[in-house]
Amino acid sequence: MRKTSLLLSTALIPLLIASNCLAQNIRTITIQADKMQAKIQPTMYGVFFEDINQGADGGVYAELVKNRSFEFKMPLMGWKEVKQNNARGSILVLNRGAANADNPRYIHVTSVSAQGYGLGNEGFHGMGIKKDEQYNFSVLAKLPAKTAEMGLQVELLSAKGEVIGSATVALSSTQWKKYTASFTANQTDARASFRVMMKGSGSVDLDMVSLFPQHTWKQRPGGLRADLVQLLADMKPGFLRFPGGCIVEGRELDTRYQWKGTIGDVANRRMIVNRWNTEFAHRPSPDYYQTFGLGFMEYFQLAEDIGAEPLPIINCGMACQFNTCELVPLDQLGPYVQDALDLIEFANGSITTKWGKKRAELGHSAPFNMKMMGVGNEQWGSQYIDRYKVFEKAIHAKYPQIKLVASVGPNPDGEIFDYLNPTLRSLKANILDEHYYRAPGWFLQNAKRYDHYDRNGPKIFAGEYAAQSVGIASPDNKNNWNCALSEAAFMTGLERNADMVYMASYAPLFAHAEGWQWTPDLIWFDNLRSYGTPNYYVQKLFSLNKGTEVVPLLLNNEALTGQDGCYGTACIDENTKELIIKFVNTTGESQDVNFSISTASHLATGASVTTLANSDTSAVNSFDHPATIAPVQNRATLDGDNLKISFKPRSLSVIRIPF
């Protein structure tokens, strides 16, 4: 028996030692690399985006000013009056009502003093500012009368109150006009703030007071935080589901997500309260609103940027059934259905159509080639079926090629699921969206969940899942290794059933360390930093190694679905010509395996082995230790068609063997 030989330096030492100590009870796992079992969809692993946990405003949407248009319920929330050296003045909140229904409020600032009066903004738990980076200020302003003197002095302040960047703006117009100014910060500070000071005595009307970093994702003005988008791009996700989640539904119909209000000039995107603002009494977020600066055009653009298929979810005439359960009467669903049809035209229509033209005017004349859409989020009951039918009929009458995602409710079993699952199957739904927020043990036990699903029925979208270390949405949940490892074990079952499981996404995606409502979450960030959790690295490893066809991986002629705590799957990547093995060892012991590979091709002698491992199941990543659990690369050597390897305790390993 030839021992596994490993080629890399220090990182491989633990694996090498383990390999030299292969136990007597080495088990042989056969891989039939020449037997294609199922095609893996390019969409297999994707991301679920929702504006929860400050995911959009105060998160990936890089605007630094909170309540920039004074539309929060308390119009000056996030703002405070600034009076230096006893300067005097006043701030009035005006409401122009129907004259500007989407952005009714603005402020009228009067400075009695020639200088020293103004207002400051606290940002989202402060503002994350980086030394030597450029910041771009903009404001809508209107002078009541021509004056040669009026201007603004805009200043970034460190947490200690020092001015760390500033610019001046001369005001000139008695009509609403956009003014801009840029400056460079001379310090890094995670808790900076910003103030707008009056220059000269007199009055001015102000609205849309905004400050963005110049450096955003792809340097887009008014764009997205580059570090956070990069973490998504690094996963090479197959799809981007947006805009959520419960946020699609709203607590009540009035606060449902309406995509048409989220495109075009940001000053005209009607802001609403974020439904997570008041959802959890233990995590109140009174200042959580949706500016829709990250709106549907930006979502489609983001999907395109990161190579993901766009998957919008639309409201189906139902508010959140955990909250108000408001329903639109069936005979009044017309506008809701029209929104769905118009969305397809917006995404895919030629520029001669009304909504395709709109897309082109917004800078994207090429269609986004959207192929699927969700009807409702976590809905249930016959009310949902009634409404789903109306949407399905109308959408497929006009766009038969669009695959519709239907909800089977918030749970993977139970009364709601047991009603919706067969009902939607009988209606020949295209794709069923299953959600599982469950204990880690559930994930281990459900690695076989799809083995016996009807192969001729709807495809499965594992649309939201995350192992909950304590309980569903408990504030004590942790993104620990135990949870991530159990998700990895479960995901081998998703992949083995790729003939039917077409998509999967962890949820929620983002959380601000100070602004979260729901945990666990895939990626945590603060105003300057971000890190991937162990769960993130599990998702990333699966996504980057998804392959194109599943092939059988068998222990004693059975799939490896938890025997002795081990889980595995294998696939071929026809593009790179590699065999990919994923192996999950959930036990506290090393597991010694001989992979015996049958293949018509000639296997290379060298394999790459990427491992996520930690013997401590409570281990987590953090801002200070972002790579406690992160992929480690090694190499292994085959002996002909055999690969002997010792898997570390509590590990996920991905092996790639060229052929």
Minimum gap (Å) between residue 261 Cβ and ligand AHR: 20
Extended beta strands in 171-302, E state? 177-184, 189-199, 202-213, 239-242, 272-273, 289-290
x/- letters, 409..428, toward ligand AHR (CB under 6 A): -x------------------
Residue 243: Cβ within 10 Å count: 24
User: Could you give the count of Cα atoms lying within 13 Å of 138 in the half-sphere of its Cβ?
Assistant: 14
Q: Which of 464, 487, 495, 592 binds ligand AHR (CB under 6 A)?
A: 464
b/e burial code for range 172-202 (CB count within 10 A of at least 16 → b):
eeeeeeebebebebebebbbbbbbbbbbbbb
Q: Which stretch binds ligand AHR (CB under 6 A): 91-99, 212-220, 241-249, 573-581?
A: 241-249
CB-wise, 519 or 653, nearer to ligand AHR? 519
State which of positions 509-538 bind ligand AHR (CB under 6 A). Answer: 518
The piece of 117-125, 243-251, 351-359, 480-488 that touches ligand AHR (CB under 6 A) is 243-251
In degrees and rounded to multiples of 5, residue 165 shows phi and psi of 175, 140
E-assigned strand segments in 49-201: 79-83, 89-95, 105-111, 117-121, 127-129, 134-142, 151-157, 163-170, 177-184, 189-199
Q: How far is the CB of 417 from ligand AHR (least distance, A)?
A: 14
Site residues for ligand AHR, 178-207, by CB under 6 A, read none
Per-residue x/- track, 360-399, ligand AHR (CB under 6 A): -----------------xx---------------------
* Identity of the residue, 243 or 310, whose beta carbon is nearer to ligand AHR in the bound complex: 243
The nearest distance, CB 240 to ligand AHR, in angstroms, is: 15
**Helices H / strands E in the chain, number of each:** 11, 36
- The interface region with ligand AHR, picked from 138-146, 240-248, 388-396, 425-433 by CB under 6 A, is 240-248
Q: Which residue from 510, 439, 481, 447 is spatially nearest to 611, judged by alpha carbons? A: 481
Q: Which is nearer to ligand AHR, 289 or 518 (CB)?
A: 518
Stretches 105-113, 230-238, 239-247, 353-361: which one binds ligand AHR (CB under 6 A)?
Answer: 239-247
Task: State in angstroms the smallest separation of the CB of 248 from ligand AHR.
Answer: 8
Nearest to 316 by CA among 418, 404, 415, 429: 404
CA distance 599 to 259: 50
Q: Which is nearer to ligand AHR, 122 or 279 (CB)?
A: 279
| Residue (434 or 578) nearer to ligand AHR, CB | 434
Binning the chain into helix, strand and coil, the percentages to the nearest 5 are 20, 35, 45
Cβ closer to ligand AHR: 477 or 651? Answer: 477
Out of 50, 207, 342, 433, the residue judged to bind ligand AHR by CB under 6 A: 50
Contact 647, 560 (CB under 8 A): no
Nearer to ligand AHR, 507 or 613 (CB): 507
Angle between helices 481-496 and 534-544 (to 10 degrees): 20
Which window, 80-88, 244-252, 338-346, 526-534, contacts ligand AHR (CB under 6 A)?
244-252
- Shortest Å, Cβ 244 to ligand AHR: 5
507 part of the interface to ligand AHR, by CB under 6 A: yes
Label residue 658 exposed, middle or buried (CB < 10 Å: 0-12, 13-18, 19+).
Answer: middle
Identify residue 404 by its one-letter amino acid code: L
CB of 491 to ligand AHR, least distance (A): 18
> x-or-dash pattern for ligand AHR, window 586-615, by CB under 6 A?
------------------------------
The single residue among 55, 118, 151, 245 that binds ligand AHR, judged by CB under 6 A, is: 245
Which CB atom, from 409 or from 458, has the smaller least distance to ligand AHR?
409
Q: From CA 359, how far away is CA 642, in angstroms rounded?
A: 54
Catalytic positions: 378
Q: How far is the CB of 579 from ligand AHR (least distance, A)?
A: 35
Nearest alpha-carbon partner for 561 in 473, 641, 496: 496
Nearer to ligand AHR, 244 or 440 (CB): 244
When asked if residue 491 is in the footprint of ligand AHR (CB under 6 A), the reply is: no
Residues in the chain: 659
Q: Is 217 in the site for ligand AHR (CB under 6 A)?
A: no
C-alpha span between 116 and 153 (Å, rounded):
10
Buried b (16+ CB within 10 A) or exposed e, 152-161: bbbbbbbeee
Which 308-367 residues touch ligand AHR, going by CB under 6 A? none
How near is the Cβ of 454 to ligand AHR at its closest, in Å? 25
* Side-chain-facing half-sphere of 4: CA atoms under 13 Å: 29
What is the secondary structure of 587-654 as a DSSP string? Answer: SSS-EEEEEEEE-SSPPPSEEEEEEEE-S-TT----SS-TTSS--EEEEEE-BTTEEEEEEPSSEEEE
Number of residues that bind ligand AHR (CB under 6 A): 12
Task: Tell me if 534 sits within 8 A of 480, measured CB to CB.
Answer: yes
Q: Closest CB to ligand AHR among 15 and 466?
A: 466
Parallel/antiparallel/unpaired status of strands 272-273 and 163-170: unpaired
Give min distance, CB of 374 to ligand AHR, in A: 11
CB of 507 to ligand AHR, least distance (A): 4
**25: helix, coil or strand?**
coil
The residue number whose beta carbon is nearest to ligand AHR equals: 245
Distance between alpha carbon 154 and the CA centroid of its chain, in Å?
33
Interface positions with ligand AHR (CB under 6 A): 50, 52, 244-246, 377-378, 410, 464, 507-508, 518
